[in-house]
Chains A and B, each alone.
Chain A
Amino acid sequence: MKSVNIAIVGGGSTGLMTAYYLAKEGVKDIHVFEEKYLGFGSTGRCAGGVRASFASDVHIKLMKESIRRWLSLREEISGLEFVQDGYLWLLTTEELVEFHKKLSAYQNSLGVPTRMLDRDEIRDLIPIELNDVLAALYDPMAGKASPLKFLWAVRRKLRELGVTIHEYTSVTDVRVSSGRARSIVVDRMREIQVNEHVVIAAGVWSKDLLGKLGIKIPLKKDPHHLLVTEKYVQFIRPLVIHKETGSYIVQHETGSLLVGAEFPVPEEDMSLRYGYLKKAVTIMSRYFPQILGTNLLRVWVGYYEVTPDHHPIVGAVPFIENLVTATGFSGHGYMMAPIVGEELKNIILEGKPRIPETKELRLERFEEGKLLKESAIFG
């Protein structure tokens, strides 16, 4: 292999979806390069939640489109699962209740059908010890999609479509001359010519690769813990968030429970903290005492790649005409992958995205000081 048409750096959800939408349009000679195994970065470590109930119009509009794609992807790609079981935010203070009433009205105005539930309505929805819960915000449009099932279903599909996936192959450099990415360097020694586009979708590691090209992106590695239990009888359909502490619980089709909690650690510190386990279990068992009898199977840490405004960077980068990137998803990369993949396809094939909001995700906004706003971050 001396040259490729499209080189996609990063075998996570964003890179794979970009490859998928390009291949679906008939683009040939697409190559995905993954340094480790598919999903090693953040995709394989995330909880798999998908929602449009955000507090910024950019997130809401893009995620509405992304959910439409999730629904069609599960028909297009066999083995890919997406279930619209909803999200439920448990609200334990008057301030949170007031804020979420306003938030819900805002989301409704943008076509996301969230609604407030009182204590009885919450009890009708899930088996819960309500304790100090005053009310909840419910989003029936949200859902979950197992990241591992996604990875293998998409991997199979891409192979069928003729996309080449290079696992354990690291892109260590991109060679640029006269404003064009000419080639990539693989495993520090092999140079491969790129005829059309380079896509950098390498999660937190995008920063290093773009940095070598003199493109600074404001990206922080923010480690987050997650635990998984042994299989347990299906008892909780929606993803439930304890808003006050940012803890959450979700049960996947396998029956395993994933429990996350905010447990701030220094940037790049991937070590496991006992304090996280204590916090996650103590908070969630207050509302779901059933979980105390289940067994902890594993605990791990994955990165959120966080930008100053908690919105991603999607699109072309300045001064290199055939290089596009998508990174900085701040914990939402997996859920956004379908629409971002399609928009990168549009940028590559048509020169611009189709959704106006995608344009607001351009890298230049940080230098210009035009940050986007978002206040519904958790976990």
Chain B
Amino acid sequence: MVKLLCLCEEISLEEVQKVIEEEGIRDIETLKRRLRLGMGPCGGRYCINMVLRMYPQLFGNTAKEKSDTELRVPPSRPPLKPVPLYVFKER
């Protein structure tokens, strides 16, 4: 059974583990841009939280973040939810 971490971009837990392992990715910002995890319509609302929850399991002690007091969580960029472009069109 495939476990999907990111439903918008269809990224499986396996793929996440694979790039962490093979490419030595040690932070969520890079993980996000490497796999497009959190770059779909949900804006990371679900998948980034899932990664945070699984953080020790995914990154273990090799995490780049471990020396910091807080995790580097990607910024939420507006809009909160996707908005059709016609909203912005001047009449």
Which of A37-45, A48-56, A362-370 lies on the face that meets chain B? A37-45
Which of A193-201, A286-294, A343-351 lies on the face that meets chain B? A286-294
Residue of A nearest to B32 (CB): A37
Tell me if B30 and A167 are in contact (CB < 8 A): yes
Tell me if A156 and B77 are in contact (CB < 8 A): no
Which of A110-118, A295-303, A326-334 lies on the face that meets chain B? A295-303
Q: In the complex, which residues 12-64 of chain A have their Cβ closer than 8 Å to any Cβ of chain B?
A: 36-40, 44
Q: A167-B64, A168-B64, A278-B90 are in contact. Are A294 and B85 (CB under 8 A)?
A: yes
Q: A230-B82, A291-B85, A298-B43 are in contact. Are A38 and B30 (CB under 8 A)?
A: yes
Q: In the complex, which residues 10-62 of chain B have their Cβ closer than 8 Å to any Cβ of chain A?
A: 23-24, 26-27, 29-30, 33-34, 36, 39-41, 43
Q: What residues of chain A lie closer than 8 Å to B41, measured between beta carbons?
A: 230, 295, 297
Q: How far does the alpha carbon of A281 sit from the alpha carbon of B88 in the complex, in Å? A: 6
Q: With an 8 A cutoff between CB atoms, is A159 at the interface?
A: yes
Residue of A nearest to B23 (CB): A156
Q: What residues of chain A lie closer than 8 Å to B34, measured between beta carbons?
A: 148, 152
Tell me if B27 and A278 are in contact (CB < 8 A): no
Q: A37-B30, A38-B30, A295-B41 are in contact. Are A285 and B24 (CB under 8 A)?
A: no
Tell me if A155 and B23 are in contact (CB < 8 A): yes
Interface size on A, residues (CB 8 A): 34
Q: With an 8 A cutoff between CB atoms, is A105 at the interface?
A: no
From the candidates B27, B33, B40, name the one contacting A168 in the complex (CB within 8 A): B27
Residue of A nearest to B28 (CB): A37
Tell me if B85 and A298 are in contact (CB < 8 A): no
Tell me if A297 and B88 are in contact (CB < 8 A): no
Tell me if A295 and B83 are in contact (CB < 8 A): yes
Q: How far does the alpha carbon of A167 sit from the alpha carbon of B78 in the complex, in Å? A: 26
The smallest beta-carbon distance between B91 and chain A, in angstroms, is 9
A contact residues vs B (CB 8 Å cutoff): 36-40, 44, 148, 151-152, 155-156, 159, 167-168, 229-230, 254, 272, 277-278, 280-282, 285, 291-300
B contact residues vs A (CB 8 Å cutoff): 23-24, 26-27, 29-30, 33-34, 36, 39-41, 43, 64, 72, 77-79, 82-90
Knowing that A281-B85, A296-B79, A296-B83 touch, tell me 7 more A-B residue pairs with CB under 8 angstroms.
Answer: A37-B29, A37-B33, A44-B33, A230-B40, A230-B41, A282-B88, A294-B84
